[in-house]
Chains A and B, each alone.
Chain A
C-alpha cells in the first residue's frame, strides 16, 4: 500500500488552509472507524452490530495559546477555524510545538492492515460460531454461554503544520467467549478474550477448552483465611496489578512530581529478576502502532532492565515539562475500555508491554507452594491512589493452593500491596511459560510467584 495523505482530500485541505489563515500552527488527527460484530447469548444467536464513524480532533496554536476541538466533519472550514482561534484565546500560553517527524516506511505503516480481513463479515460466520457455542455448552453443562466476535477497522491519519503527514490502516478480529454459571449463593462469570488477524489465530476451539477447564476448577468454592502468603499471579492478574507500575512510569506523573520513581533513573527499583520492555510492533495487538498519536516515532526499549529503571513514558508535553524527549507514548485511548477515541486528548499511554519469561516451570511454581493462592483474574486494581504504587484488587477468579495443588475456588478476597514490594523483595520467580499467543496481546507476561502478599477475605 502506498500512503495517501488525507491532506489531498478537498475537505481536509480546505480545513487546513482555513486553520493556517486563523492560527499559527495546527494538527489534525482523524480516526475513521468501522466495527462489525455478531453475538450469541444464552447459546442462541442474538444479533449483529455495525458502527461507522469518522472524527477529526484538532489542536491549534495561536499566539502561543493552544486549543482543542473535535468535530465529525470538516464542513464549514472557515467557521470552524475561526471558532478554534477564539478557543485559543481562552487558554493560557503553552509552548506546544508540532514536529515534522520521520514517517515510517510503507511496510511499517501497512504492518497491521491484514488485507484478508477487508471483506470479512462476522455475520457470515454465524453457522461456525453456532458450532463453537454448542461445543461450549457441551463442555460446560448447565451454563449460559455466549460469544461475541468483532471485526474492527481503523484508519488513522495525522497531519500538522510542521509538515508531518502520515497515516495507517489497522484491521483486526476480537472474540470474547463467556460462561455464566449460577447456583444459589454463587454466581460465576468467566470469560476468555482473544485478538488476532484471522479466525485461525483466535483458535476458538482451544479457547473453549481453556474456559471449560477454568469452569471445572472453579466448581467448588472453598474456605480461605486472610493473611500474608505466597501468590501465583496468572499473566492476566499480573497485568491488572501492573497498572500501579504503569502509573509510576508515566512521564506526566514524573513532570508533576507525583511518582515515587522521581530521581531514580538508573537505580534498582524492583528485583533484578524483573525486566519490563515496551514493544510497539507486536503482531496482533490493538496497541501496536507505527507512530504515536502525535506522530512521534516509536521504538522497542527497556523500561526496567534487571530491576533497574531505564526510562519513562512521555508525550510531547510531559517530555517538555520533565525536561526530556518524547518517547512515542501519546495515545488517544478511551478511559477504562481498550479502544481508541479521537475525542480523548493524547495522554501518556504505553503501547505493548513484555516481561521476558523466567526459568521456572509453572507446575513447579505451584508445586512449591504449601499454602497460598493462585490469582487467575484480579479486577479494579486501577481504582485509588495507584501512582504511589499501592493497589488493591478484587479477586474475580482465584484458587486455593494447598500442598502444591490447586484445590478449589477462593471467593470474596482482596489482594493488596505495593507493586514495588511485590516485584521487589517479594518476587520469587517468573515462569518460563507464557499464555496463548492470542490472549493478552498488549501485555505479554509470564506467571509470577510472589511471597508474603496480603490477602483479605470475608
Chain B
C-alpha cells in the first residue's frame, strides 16, 4: 500500500475520530544458531499494518497482514470506539513530523553472504570447544532484522524509517567435578556487522571464565556492599528504575503519581539517570517513535531527584507532561507502549580504586544474565569476586542480587568516571512484546547493603 493511500485513509477516518494511526511494518529477519552438535539458519519475512484509533476517550487497535482489508478494519475500529462507553484516554498534542530516516550502515550485514556469517560463527564454536577439555558445550548465535516502517497519522505525520538491528552472542559451558557453569559474551549494533567479528577477541576469556567458575565457591548469601561493572550496572538501572519510569505503569494510579512526582528524591547527588536513543549505531537508536514523536535524551533523575518519566502521548496527557518519544511497538502485531531506548546512569567522579576504598567485605560483580523489575527488582550476576579489606579476592559463582526501588538507589555511594555504552544480545520484554532492541550505558557503581542470594 502506498503512502498516499495511507494518508487518504488516515484523513478519511480522521474526520470522525480524534486520531488515526496507520503503521506499515515490514520485517526481514535472519537467525542463525550453532553449537558443536546442532545448527540452524532461519529466515522470517512478514509485513502488516498496525491500526489504532482514538475517540471519545477510548482507543482501539487492530493489526492485519492483508492490505486489502485495512480500510474495512479501520471502519470496524471506528464503529467500536463510537459504540463503546466513553472513556478517559486522551492524547497529548504532538507536532506532526515529516521525516525520512535513511539507513547508513558502517558494514551492511545484508552484503555479507550467509555462508560467510556461518563460517564465522562456526569458527567461534570450534575455538570455544577446543580451548579446554572441560568445555561440554559451546554455542554462537546471530540475529539480524531489517525493518521498513511507514507511519501516517490523521494529524499530519508522515514518517519513514529503515532500521537495522543485529546482535550476536557466544557461550561456553564447562563441567568439572559435578559442577556446571557457563560464561558468555555478546554484542550488537544498528549499523555495523563488524562488531560480530569483534567477538573473536573475547572467546578465550569466555572459556577460561566458565572453567574457572566450576572451581569457584558459591557466593555467600546475605547483605553486603557490591561494586557493579558497567555491564551489570546497565541491567541494574534498566530493572531498578527504567521500568518504573515508564509512565504507563504509573498514570492509572493517583497514588503512584504522587509517589513518582517530579521533585522526589530517589538517590544521592551522585546519581543521574537518563534514557538516550540519539546515538546512531546503537541498538537503542530511535529517530522517532511509533506515534511519530521525535526521539530525544530524556532526563529521568538528576542529582538524585526525579525530573521526568518516559511518556507516550496518552500517558503524557494523563500526567500533564509532554511525550518523550518512548512509544514503541515491537512489530505490526502490537500497539505502541511505553518502552526504554538506551537507559543510562551518567558518569560520576570516582576511580575504580576509590570504589574499593573502605570496603571491608563486599562483592565485585560482573556481567549479567538478566533481571526482573518492580518495586523489588532482581538481577543475576555472571560472576563475582569477593572484596576483602579493599582488595579484589577470590572468584565466586551463582550470585543473584536483589534491591528495592525506594532504598537501593539511595545506597549508591560511588559512581565511576568510566561510563560506557553497552550493546548486548537479546532485548527487553513487556506485555508480551519481546525482545525489543534496547541499549544501556553506565560506569562502575558501588552500592551498600544489597541483598545477595547465593549459598
Chain A residues with a Cβ under 8 A of chain B:
41-42, 44-55, 66-73, 83, 87, 90-92, 94, 123, 126-127, 130, 142-144, 146, 180-189, 226, 255-258, 260, 317, 321, 334-337, 339, 343, 345, 379-380, 383-385, 387-388, 390, 392-396, 411-416, 454, 456-458
Contact = CB atoms under 8 A, between A and B. Distances in A.
Q: Would you list the 3 A-B pairs with minimal beta carbon distance, nearest first? A: A414-B453, A42-B252, A144-B253
Interface residues of B, number: 86
Interface in B54-105: 58-66, 73, 76-77, 80-81, 84-89
A383 B380 CA distance: 7
Contact of B434 (A337, A392, A411): A337
B313 interface: no
B37 interface: yes
Given A72-B65, A184-B259, 18 more contacts: A41-B252, A48-B81, A49-B62, A53-B48, A70-B45, A123-B84, A144-B252, A181-B255, A182-B256, A226-B451, A256-B35, A257-B137, A384-B400, A385-B181, A394-B378, A413-B451, A414-B378, A414-B400
A73 B65 contact: yes
A144 B318 CA distance: 14
B227 to A, nearest CB: 18
B41 A67 contact: yes
B222 interface: yes
Contact of B63 (A52, A68, A130, A383): A52
Contact of A123 (B80, B115, B223): B80
Contact of A90 (B118, B377, B406): B118
B40 A345 contact: yes
A53 B259 contact: no
B371 A383 contact: yes
B453 A416 contact: yes
Interface in B358-379: 369-372, 374-378
9 contacts: A47-B89, A50-B61, A50-B77, A69-B42, A260-B180, A337-B434, A394-B377, A411-B375, A412-B402
B434 A126 contact: no
Contacts of A336: 429, 434
Contact of B255 (A144, A384, A392): A144
A49 B52 CA distance: 9
Given A53-B333, A335-B434, A337-B429, A414 B451 contact: yes
Contacts of A383: 369-372, 378, 380, 400
A394 B405 CA distance: 14
Contact of B400 (A94, A184, A416): A416
Given A55-B46, A416-B221, A48 B80 contact: yes
Contacts of A379: 372, 374, 378
Contacts of B43: 68-70, 83, 87
Interface centre among B48, B66, B88, B252 (most CB of A within 10 A): B252
A235 B289 CA distance: 40
Given A72-B45, A380-B378, A49 B61 contact: yes
B376 A395 contact: yes
Nearest to A415: B453
A70 B46 contact: yes
B40 A187 contact: no
A52 B64 contact: yes
Nearest to A458: B451
A454 B63 contact: no
A43 B16 CA distance: 27
Contacts of A87: 41, 43, 114
Contacts of A396: 374, 376
A412 B451 contact: yes
B439 to A, nearest CB: 20
A44 B406 contact: no
B61 to A, nearest CB: 5
Nearest to A343: B44
B335 interface: yes
A152 B373 CA distance: 28
Contacts of B39: 91-92, 94
Contacts of B432: 334, 337, 339
Contacts of A184: 258-259
A197 B80 CA distance: 24
B180 A385 contact: yes
Nearest to B85: A45
B319 interface: no
B421 interface: no
B376 A180 contact: no
A94 B405 CA distance: 49
Interface in B397-455: 398, 400, 402-407, 429, 432, 434-435, 449, 451-455
Nearest to B399: A392
A343 B39 CA distance: 16
A416 B45 contact: no
A71 B29 CA distance: 11
A186 to B, nearest CB: 7
Contacts of A394: 372, 374, 376-378, 402
B76 to A, nearest CB: 8
A251 to B, nearest CB: 13
B254 interface: yes
The residue in A92, A127, A384, A393 that gathers the most chain B C-beta atoms within 10 A of its C-beta is A384
Contact of A51 (B62, B182, B252): B62
B280 to A, nearest CB: 28
Contacts of A416: 221, 400, 453-454
A66 to B, nearest CB: 7
Contacts of B372: 379-380, 383, 394
Contact of A187 (B80, B136, B256, B434): B256
B38 interface: yes
A182 B253 contact: yes
Given A72-B47, A384-B398, A91 B259 contact: no
Nearest to A36: B62
Contacts of B89: 46-47
Contacts of A42: 88, 251-253
Contact of A390 (B46, B58, B398): B398
B40 A91 contact: yes
A218 to B, nearest CB: 12
Contacts of B335: 49
A335 B180 CA distance: 23
B173 interface: yes
A144 B254 contact: yes
Contact of A180 (B118, B256, B405, B407): B256
Contact of B259 (A46, A126, A187): A187
A313 B180 CA distance: 21
B62 A52 contact: yes
Contacts of B179: 388
B297 interface: no
A458 B253 contact: no
Contacts of B223: 226, 456-458
A343 B143 CA distance: 13
A72 B40 contact: no
B380 A392 contact: yes
Interface in B302-339: 333, 335
B178 to A, nearest CB: 8
Contacts of B136: 256-258
A67 B375 CA distance: 44
A259 B210 CA distance: 16
Nearest to A454: B221
A165 B255 CA distance: 55
A126 B85 CA distance: 8
Given A130-B85, A387-B180, A189 B374 contact: yes
B175 interface: yes
